[in-house]
Structure 1
Amino acid sequence: MDELPEEEKPGIPAWVVTFADLMSLLMCFFVLLLSFSEIDAQKFKQIAGELSKAFGVQRDVPALEIPKGTSPIFDKFSPAPPEPTVVNEVKQTTTEEAPELQTLKSPTDMAVEAAMEEQLQETMDEILKVLEPAIADGRINVSEDQRRIVIRVEEKGSFPSGSAQLTWEFEGLLLDMAEVIEGIPGDLTIEGHTDNVPIRTDRFYSNWDLSAARAAAVANVLVARDQVEPTRLSVTGLADTEPRVPNSSAENRAKNRRVEIIIDLSGPMQEQEVRLRELIQSESDDDQSALGIESDSSTSNEISW
């Protein structure tokens, strides 16, 4: 007699396994979302980098060390430490002046330029020597701008307020200055400047009158002893049209009240430059080997006002 089959025991359906796997994956997914709720930037960057390496993402590898080169004997690099730059950024600038490299100048150009700078400095030193006491007191300032010497006379100790009458002490200083200016060539421009405070007196109708009168007073002293030729002089009253600083305070207004004596050396220096080039060229034709020595020695001897 055939045996009866054993009674099948009830079990878990097959779809439960798939469901359990899905639930496990969902749980891992939500755990991952929970971990992302507070991101550590450093760790995230590290993990992202590792993942990019694992998946072969193309990237730029910075060169931390620059190799010097390879040796024909040793098949290894000999790297040198990188040199940091002085500035963090480099900005491009433009200029209206014609670009000219110092290294491209000829020996003649360099000798002429050095001689003209030396002559200009000697002239400045001569003026500064005469005006040294007034400069120390802050009554006069001397500057050089593109082959022009500007002697700025402040109102302090030179003119009484609202007047064009020179003080006795400053008049003597101008007479000493005339002796120096006599030996310096070039045109002289005397400019009078005021602040923006209006003036209306019996003597001066406006700041134009005051500025012109002060400039004329300086010119009269310079030509008083016939040391400075009147044909070299030009007098200009500019009132408050060219202030040095804004007229926003009493201090600034005092700076704007001034007389400027401008000695223009551009013309005489250009003539001297032409003569010096001719001198150097003649010496160069006679003896090319002695150009670097004799031209420099003759420069200081031949160039004079």
Structure 2
Amino acid sequence: MIDFDQGEEDTRSAPPWMATFADLMSLLLAFFVLLLSFSEMDLERYKTIAGSMKMAFGVQQQVKVDDIPKGTSIIAREFSPGRTIPTPIQQVQQATQDTTRPSLQVGTPEDTLAELDDEQTRALLERKLAALERETAADAEHLRRILAEEISKQNVDIESEGRFITIRIRENGSFPSGSATLTADFLPVMGKLRAALAEIPGEIAIEGHTDDVPISGGPFQSNWALSTGRALSVTHELLRHPSLEDRRMMVVGYGETRPFTSNDTAEGRAGNRRVEIVVRQALSVSEE
């Protein structure tokens, strides 16, 4: 048994301040335990905040190889951290333009499957568009055969470009000078045109045009009124039979603002006095 000298301080015990410190730590621990026991955690709010932080710092979502990854940049379209570099790791990762999934990369690398898909899609769309334009050209040729006599007399012109067919009715033989009433000799032509347009799909815009000579006197106050009146006369004549639906029609009066040729000569002004029937066909069958 070891006998300690009563005159020396016992150095094996803790300093007196340690007891106070331990009491404070115990009280603080009990205090935070009470705070935690009284608190309530909103799980949905926590998930929302955590998801926002994840998106803000650009964390991508990993998907299985059989599920195509999709997404665009969540930061800015002009920002891209760099192009992907092929690695020996057997993983399939790809960026697309769909917004259902996030992706850090803007655009598609030249050597990715996504770009190959875009090229194939573009080539397919070009082939479909070319086929649709051929259909429009065939419809225009059908109209030329029907109106061959009027075309030979230079009373009507027919043009096609892309998915548009323009039937140009000249003032000569269709309207008296300064009038918006169709001549009786031209009404049979309107009948043939009505029957042909009923078989051709697309929206129909009837557009009236005049030359730049101001109107003085008569029932029309301006070239705007004359061009609109002539377009309305053609529209009313086309709708005389229910074979054409009025929901396909649109009437526009341009006055002298869109000349077809120059107004410097008498022949040019005569060519500008016209009514154009523009058939606007859709780019796909579902849009008809």
User: If the TM-score is normalised by the length of the shorter chain, which range does it land in?
Assistant: 0.5 to 0.7
1:147 maps to 163
Farther-moved stretch of structure 1 (237-246 vs 110-119)? 110-119
Work out whether 1:178 is the aligned partner of 2:194: yes
1:162 maps to 178
Comparing both structures, which one devotes a greater share of its residues to helix?
1
2:13 maps to none
Structure 2 segments unaligned to the other structure (5+ residues): 1-118
Checking the alignment, whether the CA contact within 8 Å between 2:207 and 2:254 is kept in structure 1 is: yes
Structure 1 segments unaligned to the other structure (5+ residues): 1-103, 275-304
Work out whether 1:252 is the aligned partner of 2:268: yes
Assess, with a 3 A threshold, how the Cα gap between structure 1 residues 252 and 231 changes in structure 2: closer, same or farther. same
Aligned partner of residue 243 in structure 1, secondary structure: coil
> How much identity, in percent, do the aligned residues show?
36
Which amino acid is the alignment partner of residue 251 of structure 1? E
Instruction: Give the superposition deviation at 1:146.
Output: 2.7
Work out whether 1:216 is the aligned partner of 2:232: yes
Alignment length (residue pairs): 169
Work out whether 1:271 is the aligned partner of 2:281: no
Checking the alignment, whether the CA contact within 8 Å between 2:133 and 2:163 is kept in structure 1 is: no
Match of 1:190 among 194, 206, 229: 206
Q: In the TM superposition, what whole-angstrom CA distance separates every residue of 1:80-109 from its partner, at most 9, and x where no partner exists? A: xxxxxxxxxxxxxxxxxxxxxxxx767745
1:125 maps to 141
Which aligned runs of 4 or more in structure 1 are off by greater than 6 angstroms? none
Work out whether 1:231 is the aligned partner of 2:231: no
Instruction: Give the superposition deviation at 1:201.
Output: 2.5
Match of 1:207 among 205, 214, 223: 223
Q: CA RMSD in A?
A: 2.1
What CA distance in whole angstroms lies between the structure 1 residues aligned with 2:189 and 2:243?
Answer: 14
What CA distance in whole angstroms lies between the structure 2 residues aligned with 1:191 and 1:113?
Answer: 26
Which amino acid is the alignment partner of residue 167 of structure 2? I
What CA distance in whole angstroms lies between the structure 2 residues aligned with 1:163 and 1:181?
Answer: 25
Bigger RCO (CA 8 Å, 6+ sep)? 1
Instruction: Give the superposition deviation at 1:259.
Output: 0.4
Checking the alignment, whether the CA contact within 8 Å between 2:205 and 2:249 is kept in structure 1 is: yes
What CA distance in whole angstroms lies between the structure 2 residues aligned with 1:253 and 1:121?
Answer: 29
Instruction: Give the superposition deviation at 1:116.
Output: 1.9
Instruction: Give the superposition deviation at 1:213.
Output: 0.7
Instruction: Give the superposition deviation at 1:111.
Output: 5.0
What CA distance in whole angstroms lies between the structure 2 residues aligned with 1:135 and 1:249?
Answer: 22
Query: Which protein shows a greater Rg?
Result: 1
What CA distance in whole angstroms lies between the structure 1 residues aligned with 2:130 and 2:270?
Answer: 38
Instruction: Give the superposition deviation at 1:175.
Output: 1.2
